[in-house]
Amino acid sequence: MHLIDWLVIGGYFFALILVVWWSSKRQDTTEDYFLAGRNIGWFAVGASLFASNIGSEHIVGLAGQGTSSGMAMAHWELHAWIMIMLGWVFVPYYYRSGVYTMPEFLERRFNSTARWILSIVSLFAYVVTKVSVTIYAGAMVFETLLPDMSLNIMGTNVGPFWIGAIATVVLTGIYTIFGGLRAVLYTDTAQAIILLVGSFFITFFGLSKLGGWGELVSTCKANADQFALWRPMSDPDFPWLGILIASPVVGIWYWCTDQYIVQRTLAAKNLRNARRGAIWGGFLKVWPVMIFLVPGLIGYALHQKGVDGFSIPTEDGVIKGDMVFPTMVSTLLPIGLRGLVVGGLLAALMSSLSSLFNSCAALFTVDIYKKLHPTASEKMLVHIGRVATGVIVVLGLLWIPIMPLIAKGGLYKYLQSVQGYLAPPITAVFLLGLFCKRINGKGAVAGLAVGFIAGMAKLTIQGITGAALAAQKAFEKGEITELSPWTEKILSMDCFIFIGGYNFLYASGWLMAISVIVVVVVSLMTKPPLAAQIENLTYSTATEKQRKENRASWNKWDVMATAVVLSLVLGLYLYFSFWLK
């Protein structure tokens, strides 16, 4: 890192401080703090949707997956079509209901029990998945770019990994606590631009070093099975049928029902801006395949060819995928641009964390604290929101020692597999709740409970069997002298081993089917919801006034923009389906 690089990063943080200072003066009510006063335009909404989604785990982890599994993970990055669903199908009902959170919407549609379940599960999921992998990815960048950085704290030498992790979490927590969602949204707008520009330069310089796109394609063709978009049914990790089943389930949950994402659209000044924000975010979402996943392919090709001595760290002869992007930044980029890209990585880390912190605070304050203290004043709720943000920051710091264990096998694959176990019941309940007026609160609660228990059972068994198999492998290598009785017991249980090793894509599909069946059966076995409870909250019970308002909120430009986004998604699918033929 050169002085100029540090000046670029310093300029970024100075601008950040100004935005937070300006935002902190406008935080008098919960609507100000959690929804930015519901006065945000479509450009900022869409940019925030993109920047909140593209965290450092995307940039680092997605490039790593590109190196290890090629285009297999591109299906999750081509979810721009689901963002179109968010804008046209879901947002009209969310926005007009006037809710602050997704659990609050579930209470309107079903009952308070459904709200409690979703609130608690969401908070748990955010801390153990998004916080952990986001911080880990950002800290790993520090470790690669600043390997000599260290601090002596109370006689203990602290390296760049811990310095980076703690500094980014604390700084992000501070600006989220004081600035609220308005600071998150406006900083996200700038961060989205930095992300796109910085990652474009990585792709550009990487291809220039390699010799162009044709050289990349020819290198990947030598290992076409590893880099193909569609894999055969026999593929142990990404069979094409599993992709088609699981990817939409996770995508609809994440983009259309998750508080972390939907909160941005609820902050729009009106329904038209909310929808256009989703469409604009969908347009931005088209590009991660080219600027985050493709650099992983480029890094693999540069490593294989040894261009200008380019080398990525390996472990047991296998490239450490999550080190690809940091290595490319440190070796390929000139002075100044390196600082810009590192600023982009910091932007990605901080935008994701700030969105996460604010969403967690909204969930706790509105769905838990306010339910327990309904007479609390607006100022007290804002204060509780800030305290809740601080608690989430502390929990994020406490998860730092666990992050290296979480990251084994690739950050991005880990994140998608865990989300594949959490998403099905939520997706099932929201879809059935919007499109079927017969679904009632008892069915929704049963579906959420059964789905979550089944998903967590699969995740727990997978973790236990994974640890047992790792111990067995260490024993065979002679790294340990004997297996514990517990490990031997686990290895002798064929059913346990089968469930633990069952493909996460298919498991997600089964969880979705189980959740749907439970919701429908329990709903049909119990009384239907009252007409007053579902009025304006399902498609078949929308009033004529509501339908007219919805039609008045869009015009031909929204339709044309939607067509552009869908065409880009289709074009990328067609190209990468045949690019190695």
Upper half-sphere CA count for residue 501 (Cβ side, 13 Å): 14
Q: What is the DSSP letter of 333?
A: P
pLDDT at 450: 95
Domain ranges of the chain: 3-578
Give me the tens of pLDDT residue by residue for the chain, a chain 581 residues long.
Answer: 677 777 877 777 777 777 666 666 655 555 555 555 566 788 888 888 887 777 666 777 777 778 877 888 889 889 999 999 999 999 888 877 777 788 888 988 999 999 888 888 888 777 766 776 677 766 766 676 666 677 766 666 777 777 777 777 777 777 666 656 566 666 666 767 777 777 788 888 888 888 889 888 888 888 888 888 998 898 888 899 999 999 999 999 989 998 878 888 888 888 899 999 999 999 999 988 888 888 888 888 888 888 777 777 777 667 776 678 778 877 887 877 777 777 767 766 776 677 677 777 777 887 888 888 888 887 788 788 778 877 777 776 676 665 554 445 555 566 677 788 889 999 999 999 999 999 999 999 999 999 999 998 888 888 788 778 878 888 887 878 788 888 888 888 888 888 888 888 999 999 999 999 999 999 999 999 988 888 888 888 887 888 888 888 899 999 999 999 999 999 999 999 988 88
CB 249 within 8 A of CB 420: yes
Q: Is 4 exposed, middle or buried (0-12, 13-18, 19+ CB in 10 A)?
A: middle
SS3 374: coil
424 in Cβ contact with 508 (< 8 Å): yes
CATH architecture, domain defined by 3-578: Up-down Bundle (1.20)
| Residues facing 151 on adjacent strands | 158
User: Can you spell out the DSSP letters for 228-283?
Assistant: -SSB-TT-SS-BHHHHHHHHHHHHHIIIII-HHHHHHHHTBSSHHHHHHHHHHHHH
- Torsion sign (Cα): 145, 148, 150, 156: positive
SS3 222: coil
Please tell me the predicted confidence (pLDDT) of residue 406: 45
- What residues are paired with 239 via a beta bridge? 231
72 neighbors 244 (Cβ within 8 angstroms)? no
